[in-house]
Amino acid sequence: MADRLTVARPYARAAFARAQADDKLGTWSVALARAAATVGDERVRALFGSPKVTAAQLAGLVAGVAGVAGGELDDSGRNFIRLLAENKRLQFLPEIAQIFEVLKADSERVVDVAITSAAPMGAGEQAQLAGALEKRFNRKVRVQTAVDPSLIGGAVLRAGDLTIDGSVRARLARLAQDLTA
């Protein structure tokens, strides 16, 4: 996974720089996500490495799917896909899209936070949490919620590598560790 990210990073950076310069972050984002989904498809994956399919054909296929409504690719976008095909890096598109999203969120000063709570949260609670997080990260917060009853109570927040664990399950685990140590 890490190696794949390392390979994907320079491509994602280049794509991001181009998109930012052209002020087309949204379009690129949609196109990359769609291209990533295309590459992820099993029928498409079977074509990689096939001697019958040329790089240009593959690039045409991916660009064709990615470039439909909402993600219309300009020349540089098509060139990007072609470059990936020539370098045999098309299968790294999911990682490229992932890094692109991180860069995009960073430039828009937005942070994605996944909140897992023991019980479904009300809109008020969610807004309160989001407000507190916005203060802490000094960024706008995009919240995704999930429910996991095994937490017993409280909630776990995850933003990137940072985890804020306020669940009852974690506290019980720490209490157990403290008592047995």
Partner 1 sequence: MSIKASEISDLIGQRIQNFAAGTEARNVGNVMSVADGVVRIHGLADARYGEMLEFPGNLFGLALNLEQDSVGAVVLGEYKSIREGDVVKTTGRILEVPVGPELLGRVVDALGNPIDGKGPINAQATAPIERVAPGVIYRKSVSQPVQTGYKAVDAMVPIGRGQRELIIGDRQTGKTAMAIDAIINQKSSGVKCVYVAIGQKASTIANVVRKLEEHDAMKHTIVVVASAATPAALQYISPYSGVTMGEYFMDNGEDALIVYDDLSKQAVAYRQISLLLKRPPGREAFPGDVFYLHSRLLERSARVNEEYVEMVTKGRVKGKTGSLTGLPIIETQAGDVTAFVPTNVISITDGQIFLESNLFNAGIRPAMNAGISVSRVGGAAQTDIIKRLGGGIRLALAQYRELAAFSQFASDLDEATRKQLERGQRTTEVMKQKQYAPMSVAQMALSIYAVNNGYMDKVPLAKVVAYEDALQGFALSSHKADLDAVNAEPVLKKHEATLKRIVEAFDVTGSY
Q: How far is residue 91's CA from residue 96's CA, in Å, rounded to a whole number?
A: 10
DSSP state letter for 154 = S
- Residue with Cβ nearer partner 1 (46 or 162): 162
Residues 102 and 13 sit within 8 Å (Cβ to Cβ):
no
Cβ 115 to partner 1 shortest distance, Å: 13
Cβ 125 to partner 1 shortest distance, Å: 15
Contact set with partner 1 (CB under 8 A): 1-3, 5-6, 9, 154, 158, 160-166, 170-171, 174-175, 177-181
Q: How far is residue 173's CA from residue 178's CA, in Å, rounded to a whole number?
A: 9
- Residue 51, Cβ neighbours under 10 Å: how many? 5
Residues 92 and 1 sit within 8 Å (Cβ to Cβ):
no
- Residue with Cβ nearer partner 1 (150 or 180): 180
Cβ 163 to partner 1 shortest distance, Å: 4
- Residue with Cβ nearer partner 1 (64 or 160): 160
